[in-house]
Chain A
Amino acid sequence: MNVANSEPTASATADTKSIRHYLSANLRQYGLLLALIAVMVFFQIVTDGTLLRAINVTNLLLQNSYIIIMALGMLIVIVAGHIDLSVGSVMGFVGALAAVLIVNYDINIYLAAAICLATGAAIGAAQGYWVAYWRIPSFIVTLAGMLVFRGLSLWLLEGQSVGPFPREFQIIATGFLPDIFPAGIGTSLAAFFDVRQINTLAVASGVVAAALIVWMGVRTRALNQSYGMNEEPQSIFVARTFIVAAALVFVTYKLAQFRGLPNVLLTMGVLTVIYAFLTQSTVIGRRIYALGGNVKAAKLSGIKTERLTFLAFMNMGFLAAAAGLVFAARLNTATPKAGFALELDVIAAVFIGGASMSGGVGTIIGAVVGAFLMGVLNNGMSIMGIGIDFQQMIKGLVLLAAVIFDVYNKNKQG
């Protein structure tokens, strides 16, 4: 009888042990997610629920959109073993260019947007050229770029703010996707949940996205298992998938109560999915990780490391330009100070997201979560009425803590 009793207990202990082992081995990944949740819960409580009110959730997304867009490019640059300090200035410059083209010269907004994006890519290419083919440290090249493009924005705007933009341009950043479902559904849903209004499209896309994540998670897990790679214990997999899916539904439900899905969210979502795919599932993505992980080995494996570095910077310029358009449209004006010191937020987001300064390590999802973590901190502290002085200090310490945590983990493993 004793034997019969002890068996399940033993296997249960073994199970908890392996879960704990797995969690501690992958602490960074889960730690980030848990930190985001903890920070949100904390601010939700201390702000008496203001943080997760529908209008504030919408705001949170809009406020951080341009940081996230740039973090995607910065992640690639950092994985490749470089850094780009110029993105804030480039973003400001492109916003200024858009304002001058659209407001002063009355150029069609789509043409202007295309010119701006091309300019961003060209700026990135110009900087990447020196880094990749002349081996000038990216820190220097982009520090120079930071000054040059800050100056160019001032010159272009003649020190003045230029605006406002036409309505169609503002929509880029401040517009919302129209609810394509009949209004009746929304009204009855609103009645059912006992809220003022519901945007059916937002809720529906949230549910679909959550379902997609669950489906893809299950599929990948099954595939991994068939190759003997089922490292993640089932309970953790279920918990993680549930949390992510629930969070998605929750956020879209909140958005639905305000004005629905912001256009920017769509842009951000699509870009995030594209870049996550690019980095994880394509030849070029794989080569960038190899380049950052060991440039000599990559070179001797026939990888054209210079061209990849060049492309990483060009891509960064393009995304900085996209962020510049969003930022200008959101402010509805271009100012010479736009984007000032923003590169630091972007870089911080990528490092908080787990990227390594020495290259070769980091994920798109990590960078996005890192950006949100910073965003929630900013937003929560602002609601609490904490001064900009303390905000800066706290953000700085969070960045330091995240990187110390990384290094500590690495030392413990090695």
Chain B
Amino acid sequence: MSPLLEMRDITKTFPGVKALDHVNLEVSKGEIHAVVGENGAGKSTLMKVLSGVYPHGQYEGEIIYDGQPARFRDIRDSEDHGIIIIHQELALVPQLSIAENIFLGNERAKHGIINWHETNRRTEDLLAKVGLAEAPTTKVDGIGVGKQQLVEIAKALSKDVKLLILDEPTAALQENDSRKLLDLMLELKTQGVTSIIISHKLGEVRYVADTVTVIRDGSTVSKLNAKTGFSEDDIVRDMVGRDMTHRFPQHKRSPGKMMLEVENWNVWHPEHTERQVIKNAAFNVRAGEVVGIAGLMGSGRTELAMSIFGQSYGRRISGSVKLDGTAIDVSTVDRAIAAGISYVTEDRKSLGLVLDETIQFNTTLANLEAVSSGSILKKNEETKVAEKYREALAIRTPSVFQKTVNLSGGNQQKVVLAKWLFTEPEVLILDEPTRGIDVGAKYEIYTIINELADQGKAVVMISSEMPELLGMCDRIYVMNEGVLVGELSAAEASQERIMSLIVNE
């Protein structure tokens, strides 16, 4: 069959990072093509290149679409050519009706006046096509996520879609909703729609895909064909197999007494109150030990950590937290801090730093009591503290009075770390501590983590990068859909074992 789309030697660089390195993708007409890879492998970047989010000129390589070289200027341009992408985060306006959403930006109107009759009639046709039994006038926030997904697809169909791209379409769906969606994809295939599906769930990939392209670290690794046959193991091997030497500081650790013990931890979603986000989680960390929590984004790792840290996430939280053998109160953030727990957020810009303020301001923010007497700040003392951490963590800046917004990602991360180290915690929970920072800075962060363990701190490390967990942790818990599905010691852990725990539920 002739190819509908060829992306040849696509290279995309961001300042300091090569996100895509000569990636090739060939999609045949009328097939379902799966693109798989770890978080950060470059799948989303590739789709952004394809859909014109990064317009022609911002990447190298060429795109041949429908036999013609394509140079999309923006999303609108690629949509006009029939390429429609449905993102992980749904782009619907919840306050508007299904019909209004489907024809948003593409209104059935004459001279700016909307023809509601036609809008609703065409919506009914589209909804019938995707198998959604809802009235066109139903508000989108009144239907579930699964149905919203179908509305998105209906919206795509309303635009004469030739190539439909679904970015992790089932990530937020329940089992039977997922199945419905996949069946719809197969149904659309018979109608001649070509689809690309990005997914972590290998069962799904096997179920729908004709061809699989595996991407790792910004490069195409392999292309597998359903006709010649492939197994999930093949995909896993291709997804994770990479060189790991010298990326982590060599280190011996000697874990001491039991420090943190979490038992029976249950958390419900703050808005969708019927959804349980964390189910009966139990884990522990010893002093001087680094324990990893592996799992995909959205598996509940951050929710677990934040719910323990002063109930910063979730509702109806229950379970017990023990520190050094005694139960502690972690019901508010200041109590959790006082008890000796610190949480270093995965989102340093929006949750970690006051960006418009200085390094000094941010360093002391969580422990102002220590630099004040009678609630009056001792600014000299503050500066000394900030200087101390600047030196200890090698924060590269002209002075501690520099605004944190001007620092590089790695240095910002160090400032967030400094803030929490200054609270002198017993337990440090690090959520994606090396996300979005360059390789050199990662190495420095790893060295700091080793030093903290040496000082007897109990370290929990949440990460989507499996090599990082394997290189740093003494033990690794694996999380999937709110459940800790396994625990592996450093000796028995491997990327394949972790990945198979995640994908084989």
**Which residues of A does B touch, CB under 8 Å?**
223, 227-229, 231, 281-284, 286-287, 289-290, 293-294, 296-304, 360-361, 414
Which residue of chain B is the closest to A220 with respect to CB atoms?
B379
**Which residues of B does A touch, CB under 8 Å?**
309-310, 312, 332-334, 336-337, 343, 345, 350-357, 361, 365-366, 368-369, 372, 375-377, 379-380, 383, 387, 399, 401, 405, 419
Interchain CB contact under 8 A, B380 and A227: yes
- Distance in Å: Cβ of B281 to nearest Cβ of chain A: 21
Interchain CB contact under 8 A, A297 and B377: no
- Distance in Å: Cβ of B372 to nearest Cβ of chain A: 5
Interchain CB contact under 8 A, B333 and A301: yes
Report chain A residues within 8 Å CB of B332: 302
Question: When A229-B401, A297-B352, A301-B365 are in contact, do A281 and B377 touch as well, CB less than 8 Å?
Answer: yes
Q: Which of B333, B351, B352 contacts A302 (CB 8 A)?
A: B333
Which residue of chain A is the closest to B364 with respect to CB atoms?
A286
Q: Which of A227, A229, A286, A301 contacts B377 (CB 8 A)?
A: A286
Interchain CB contact under 8 A, A282 and B356: no
Cα A103 to Cα B452 in complex, Å, equals 69
- Distance in Å: Cβ of B117 to nearest Cβ of chain A: 38
Question: When A296-B351, A297-B351, A297-B353 are in contact, do A227 and B372 touch as well, CB less than 8 Å?
Answer: no
Report chain A residues within 8 Å CB of B336: 302
- Distance in Å: Cβ of B335 to nearest Cβ of chain A: 8
Interchain CB contact under 8 A, A297 and B354: yes
Cα A360 to Cα B372 in complex, Å, equals 21
Which residue of chain B is the closest to A299 with respect to CB atoms?
B333
- Distance in Å: Cβ of B387 to nearest Cβ of chain A: 8
What are 19 A-B contacts defined by CB distance under 8 Å? A229-B383, A229-B401, A281-B376, A282-B377, A283-B368, A286-B377, A290-B354, A290-B361, A294-B353, A297-B350, A297-B352, A297-B354, A298-B354, A300-B351, A301-B366, A301-B419, A302-B310, A302-B333, A414-B405
Interchain CB contact under 8 A, A302 and B357: no
Interchain CB contact under 8 A, A300 and B312: yes
- Distance in Å: Cβ of B412 to nearest Cβ of chain A: 12
Cα A414 to Cα B387 in complex, Å, equals 26
Interchain CB contact under 8 A, A361 and B351: no
Report chain B residues within 8 Å CB of A299: 312, 333
Report chain B residues within 8 Å CB of A286: 361, 365, 368, 377
Q: A294-B353, A301-B333 provided; 16 other pairs, C-beta below 8 A?
A: A223-B380, A228-B399, A229-B399, A282-B375, A282-B376, A282-B377, A286-B377, A287-B368, A293-B357, A297-B353, A299-B333, A300-B312, A300-B333, A300-B345, A300-B351, A301-B365
Question: When A281-B376, A284-B375, A287-B368 are in contact, do A293 and B355 touch as well, CB less than 8 Å?
Answer: yes
The list of the 8 closest CB pairs from A to B, nearest first, reads: A302-B334, A293-B354, A301-B366, A302-B333, A283-B375, A294-B354, A302-B337, A283-B368
Cα A231 to Cα B399 in complex, Å, equals 11
Report chain B residues within 8 Å CB of A282: 372, 375-377
* Residue from A228, A289, A294 whose CB has the most chain B CB atoms within 10 Å: A294
Which residue of chain A is the closest to B310 with respect to CB atoms?
A302
- Distance in Å: Cβ of A385 to nearest Cβ of chain B: 44
Report chain A residues within 8 Å CB of B356: 293, 360-361
Report chain A residues within 8 Å CB of B309: 300
Which residue of chain A is the closest to B333 with respect to CB atoms?
A302
Cα A294 to Cα B403 in complex, Å, equals 14
Which residue of chain A is the closest to B416 with respect to CB atoms?
A297
Report chain B residues within 8 Å CB of A301: 333, 365-366, 419
Cα A231 to Cα B333 in complex, Å, equals 37
